[in-house]
Amino acid sequence: MLKIYHNARCSKSREGLEILEKSGREYEVIEYLKEPLSENELEQLVKKLDIAPIQLVRKNEKVWKENYKDKDLSDRELITVMVKNPKLIERPVVETERKAVIGRPPSDIEKLL
């Protein structure tokens, strides 16, 4: 089953959800700001995305600029930072059993379907 890591306040995330609704496929909505991912879950998601953790970070967020921007963080430290500050996780992310994609632009989600 598909999973979408969703933030209802984000227009791109809402667009991604609409794509899933129109696909007719079953999916689960995970509001990751309300239900934060564990370090292990986030590590697995990064592996499915096939990216470095830094590529999942929203670098324009205030918390990033004020606390982490100029630090040289390891991948493990980046995962920990995103778990503690889920607002830093790029959105939306759609996941299958084997792969995942960041929905920026939302049309990238269609590649996963």
Q: Indicate which residues carry an active-site annotation.
A: 10
Q: In sequence order, what are the beta bridge partners of 5? A: 30, 93
Q: How far apart are the first and last CA of the chain?
A: 11
